[in-house]
Structure formats: structure tokens, C-alpha cells
A and B are shown apart, each in its own frame.
Chain A
Amino acid sequence: MGIIRMLEGNEAAAWGAKLARAEVVPAYPITPQTELISTIASFIANGEMKAQYIKVEGEHTAMAAAIGASAAGARVFTASASQGIVFMEEALWMPPGMRLPIVMCMVNRAMAPIGGLRPDHNDSLLQRDTGWIQFYCENSQEILDTVIQAYKVGEDKRVYLPVAVCYDGYFASATATPTSIPDQKEVDDYLPPYKHEMYNLMPGEFRTIRGFPQNIAKARYEVQKATEKAKGVIEEVDKSYGEIFGRYYDGALEEYACDGIEAVFMTMGSMTGTARDVIDEIQAEGKKVGLIKMRCFRPFPTEELRKLAKKYKVIGIVDRNTSYGSASGSGIVAMEVARALYSLDDRPLLLNFHVGLGGSDVTMRQIRYIADKVLDAYQTGKAEDETDWVELKDLGEVM
């Protein structure tokens, strides 16, 4: 049945990698990911985990070694953050094209120079076009469960794509909460050993996937199709995982406290937990605002979102990122949502909020402010600001 322990997000990710029996872990330390790889190193030193830990000299090498190991048939886990993720970007394009199901934790941290060591989502969102599946997790429990699910999704032969499990530095990575650790035997039954049916680098069994110059578009379309298929697989995996381990995450999008509600806002990552508390408080006060959690950003849940959009008159999108000079000055998630909903005849009103930039805390008051703005828009039928930089508003608290 497993045990419950106080685990930090990074420890939970390490437990996920251990339970998934990752065989090769090439990694390079970077705050706030460091505790994750040092936990794995101690698992290996204690003999609890049987894996090759490659102490590489940089993230660029970490991802290349991950590619080599995955191509040679090993289950691979790695992790990075911020500058490290961007340093490995050159290599990040390879696994989707080679269809290698590497799992990587992207421990979100703001990019230099206008940010500290704490999180916003620009580092992982910069990788949105590479072909990696991207999950955004809320807390330790979800991180642990998602790492295991990530292998199940990525190694599915309909998918064969790498998966990024993203979570906020500090607010998720260093936050300890009681976390249920599944039983190894149950995970083994759920996640059989990795065997790639398309790619094999072993002498005598060699098989490769290559895009030849005359059909590059076709090769790219194959990746696009696999990404689309991943949506169904993610739903399936969420269900099958829940049946065994008792925890469900509603696939790509979760609606929280949305019964009979027509105005919602959408969050990603650790701020979702804070938003749940705010929603409970304001609904008790009679304010009818609900919450949508975006758990999976790639593949983008277009159909699911369209289905939800029919129910809601107003959707506020909370972006913990910036895209300087973007359309309407929007955040990245808002732009994607707008594109997904554009083809609907009856479109909800969209609001966009920038919050938690450069690693600043997303507070209860800020979320309350967002909820109030969403409610205003619902009542008046129009948005006061197309894009609202919440942190520039004086909400009476500083830390």
C-alpha cells in the first residue's frame, strides 16, 4: 500500500525516478534542482536505487548523455532549471525527433537577469516548441505521481516522446508536505521495463528513425501526430494510475469548484493550491468564481478547453511568465488559450494576469484580486485591462 512521509517536491521527484527504476541519470546541479539529484545520488550510494549516475560537466552534456543512454535502450531521468534548461536547449530538440521517451524534471526558476532563484515559468515555456510533453505540478504528491505517469505516457508506443515534469522552485521543490509513496511492487506491475520498438542502438538489433531531406515535413508531422495522440494517452494513464494508486488529476485540465459557475480563472503550478483556498473563501462569501488548473501545457488541451469554454462567460488566464512585445502584451498561456478558442462562435471574454514574475510569491491577496477582476468582467461584460500586471498593484503586502 505504500507509506506516507513528509517529502519536499525535489525528494518526491527523486522517489518517482527511483520507483520508476530509472537506469541512467545524467545530471548537473543547479538551484533549485540540486536536492533532487543529490537525493538520487544518495539513493544510489545506499544501494536503494540501481542506476548509473553520470556526473556531467554541464547541462548541455547532461541532455546529450540522456539521449545517448535512451537511444541505447536505458530508461533515463534527468533534471534542470532555468539557465540550465536553456543551456541544454540545443539538445532538447533531439529526443522528440528521435522519439526518445526521456523524463526530465524542469524545476522552474526565473531567467536572468530580471529574476532571482525563485520560480516563474519562462524557462520551461521557452521549450514549448521542442516537442516535449509538459506537465505542471502543484505539490509533492503530484510531482511523484507525475514522474511515474510521465514514463507511462512517454514510453507508450503511440507516443514515444520525452516528457518534462515542471514544478516551481522553492514553492513546490522545497516545500515539504505529507506525500504517499507507492509500493515498489505496484509500480513495477504498472510500469514494465522500458523497451523501445522503433529505436535500438545495440549491434545486431540496430534500428533507427531518421528524417531524410525529401520528407522532413512528413517526419515532423509524425512527431505532431504523436503529440496529438499523447492527449488520449494522458487521459488513459491518469485513469489507470488512479485505479491502482487512488489519485486522479483529471488529465490535462482540472475544474475546481465550478458547479453552476460562469466565471473562472486558470492557473498553472504551485499557485493552484493557493487559488483553491481563495476560491473556498470567496465562494463562502457568495462570490461565484471557479478555478481551472492547467496541468498539461504540451500537448495543448485544445478540445478540452473548447468544451469548457462553452460553459464559461469569462476566463481569466494567470500567466507566471512574460513574452515581451507579444500580442496584446499577453503571457504565453493566454496567447495559446486565445488561439484555441478563436474558432468558437460564442467565445468567452478573456482576461490575462501577470503574477509571480521573476520568482516573487503569488499571495492570497493577489489571487483574490484576480478573482474580483474576473467577477467584475462577468458582471459588466467587459475587461478593464486586457493584460493586468497584478504585482504592480498595491494590494497592501510586501515581503
Chain B
Amino acid sequence: MEVNKLFDEYYEKSLFQGGSTCCPGCGGPMFWRMALEAIGSNSIIYGDGPCAGCAIRNIKLPTFGIHFSFAADGATGIVAALNAKGRNDVTVISAAGDGATGDISFGKISAAAERNENMIQICIDNEAYMNTGIQKSGLTPYGAWTTTTPQGKEAPKKRIPMIIAQHRVPYVATISVAYPRDLKAKITKAKSISGFKYLHTVMPCPTGWRFDPAKSVEVVRLGVETWAWPLYEVENGVLRLTLKPKQRPIEDYLKAQARFRHLNKEQIDYVQQEVNNERQRLLDFDGKSVIT
């Protein structure tokens, strides 16, 4: 009873209400719980994000979404209304999943970036259409099993953060729920910058990636440590690696998820080579402009 009261007081203050309809071990509520501490209460949240807003429904802030084919555009209207009313104190957050960001709403996000809309666009990336039951998206990585790529995806993952960076927006960053301090620092920085800010976070999905829910954080931490999910930011075009962990073999990351179970040694070597190349590119560009 005493404990319940303690939690009720905590929920009262928190911007996220526990008990979402997300799967156990889902990275969605985990992300929002961390992010909202940095986002703050004077904000409007637009969009769904993965699993059609399961987690967003539990955010205690003004939220609304249309459908995942409308990433960034409703937020554009909110930004315009705030401008019309002279309200520059409100943070507008626009969230979208990997399917919206990489596929159906790719043009919407590109256009909002081109217009340099004053908002924080967040891609919450669980690397497939999970709410419809694990179908391949443009951000599904090479080799991953989904119900529409039963033998593994043949094409590589789209590099959305770098594509958005080429729009010459003021701020782009990748984040991971395994590194909450880095995550919050990047959101806080994004809030302080005016114009279009793009954040790309990994969202572990025990259901779709096929691992034990308890290992949610462990798996995405492996992603960072193997350099499958490098953490960096691009501020005014200049890239900075915010974490340079000692590289672990990619096999550690792949083996932790049954979606990669069918990969043979050749394929694993190929993924390792791709990761190595990307790591080298990032290290080469560290501290330099990536705008081509």
C-alpha cells in the first residue's frame, strides 16, 4: 500500500504513465520515459511512432497523430499555428517509426527538413513494421528475417540520419536507449537549437527481433559496442562521434537475435565488412563536415 502511494506520487509528477499496452521489454516506453525528462512539459507531441502510438497514448502531454503516412506534416501545422500566435516557448516534437521515416513518409520528413521547420523530428527505429506483425521496412537491416523477407532482407538499411544531414539542417544525432545520459544530452541540445532537428533512436523489439525481453537493453548496447549502431551527432554539418567504444565482433550482436539466426558465415563476414567500412568512414569524418 505504502509502495503504491509512492508510485502514484511519482506518476503524478512524471510525464509518462506506466502500464502501456506495449509488449514486455519494448523500447518504446523506455525511450519516451527517458526522453520526456529532457523534453519537458511545455511541449506538444505529434505522430505515432512504432506500434501505432502504444507508448504515445501514455504520454501526459498534448499529443495527437493522424496516421503514419503523415509524419512531420501535422507538426508543421502546429509550428505554423504557434508562430501565428507568437508562442515561441513551446517545443514541438514529431515522432515517427522507421516505416514512416524510411518509406511512406520519407518525402514528408525530407520536405520538413528542407523548410527547416522548427521542431524535433524523432525516428524511433525498431527496424520493421512491427504493429502489423513484423514486415520489412526500408530501415530493416541486411539479412534480417521478417514475415516479408523470410530468407533475410537482401538490401541494406537506408542511412536516414546522413540523408537528413545532407538537407543541411542544424542538428542530426543518433541515440540509443542503452545510453540514457547521451540520449538526454542530445535532446536537450536539440531543444536549444532553432530549426529542424533530427534524432534517430534505436528501439529494441523483443517480439520482432526475436530475443528474450529481459535482454532489450543488452541487445541495443551490443549494437553500439559492435558499431552496428554508432552514436554520433552532426551539428551544422560537422560530424562528431559521441562514443567510440572498443569494437566487438558483429557476430555478438547478430547472435543475440533470432532474426539473424539463418545467416551463414559468409553473410556474417559481409556484415562485418560493411560495419568496418562504415566505422572507418565515421572515424575519418569525425570532427569534419559531412556535407557533400
Contacts and interface: CB of A to CB of B under 8 A. Distances in A.
A74 B80 contact: yes
A94 B76 contact: no
Given A72-B82, A74-B81, A64 B73 contact: yes
Contacts of A208: 62, 64
B131 interface: no
Interface of B: 41-44, 46, 61-62, 64, 66-67, 69-70, 73-85, 87, 90, 107-108, 110-111, 114-115
A138 interface: no
B77 A70 contact: yes
Q: How large is the interface on A (under 10, 10 to 19, 20 to 34, 35 or more residues)?
A: 35 or more
19 contacts: A24-B80, A26-B80, A54-B77, A54-B115, A60-B108, A61-B70, A64-B76, A68-B73, A68-B75, A69-B77, A69-B80, A74-B77, A90-B69, A91-B70, A94-B66, A203-B41, A203-B43, A203-B44, A206-B62
Q: Which 3 pairs across A and B sit closest by C-beta, in order of nearness?
A: A68-B77, A72-B81, A69-B77
Contacts of B114: 57
A335 to B, nearest CB: 30
B78 A201 contact: yes
A65 B44 contact: no
A86 to B, nearest CB: 15
Contacts of A61: 70, 73, 76, 108, 111
Contacts of A91: 66, 70
B59 to A, nearest CB: 11
Interface string A73-104: 11010000000000000110010001000000
Most B Cβ at <10 Å: residue of A67, A72, A73, A98: A72
A206 B69 CA distance: 24
A225 interface: no
Contacts of B84: 23-24, 50-52, 69, 74
Contact of B81 (A56, A73, A94): A73
B66 A67 contact: yes
B70 A26 contact: no
A76 B87 CA distance: 17
Contacts of B69: 60, 90
B290 to A, nearest CB: 24
Nearest to A209: B64
A38 B140 CA distance: 42
Given A52-B81, A201-B44, A202-B44, 14 more contacts: A23-B84, A54-B77, A54-B115, A55-B115, A57-B107, A57-B108, A58-B107, A64-B108, A65-B77, A66-B77, A71-B74, A203-B44, A206-B62, A208-B64
Nearest to A72: B81
Contacts of B81: 23-24, 52, 68-74
B143 to A, nearest CB: 33
Nearest to B83: A52
A65 B67 contact: no
A54 B73 CA distance: 10
A78 to B, nearest CB: 10
Contacts of A64: 66, 70, 73-74, 76-77, 108
Contacts of B61: 203, 206
A6 B42 CA distance: 48
Contacts of B90: 202-203
B78 A69 contact: yes
A74 to B, nearest CB: 4
Given A54-B80, A94-B66, A73 B85 contact: yes
